[in-house]
Amino acid sequence: MSKKRRTFGAEEGGINMTPMIDIVFQMIIFFVCTIDLDKKQFDERIKLTMAPHGKAVEEKDPRTIIVEVNSRGDIRMGNAYMSEGTFAAIMKKTVAAYGPMPVVIRGDGKTRHVHIKRVMEICSKFGIWKVQFAAIKDKAKPAK
């Protein structure tokens, strides 16, 4: 009895790297596209007021909803401006699906209180009682 040698072709012995390279490129594209989203989350035109004696946030709840109110009273969440009714509908659905979540209101220093109060009333209407206000604790030091 003779032993036959089995030869391997290129297809049997090699590793196909194409799927792995595709996944790596998809991950790179994902991170490049999402890295700038954190910067665009807030409206840069909103100038927060100073609160030097306010308590600094030590630990942020990851479920926190951030709502911005500009000096004209326009409500914004994420990158979208919305009406009072739309904001109320979003909060109603959110509370129904996930329960009450903390809310941070970023109001411009020139925003009238009546506009901030509208957001607070909508939150309380749906059982959201943990409402905080964003402010600047310390002035930025001038660059030297």
Residue 144 has pLDDT above 50, yes or no: no
- 4-49 tens-digit pLDDT: 565 555 556 678 888 888 888 888 887 776 665 555 566 666 666 6
- Residue 51, class by beta-carbon neighbours within 10 Å (0-12 exposed, 13-18 middle, 19+ buried)? middle
pTM value surpassing 0.85 = no
Which domains occur in the chain, in start order? 43-133 (3.30.420.270)
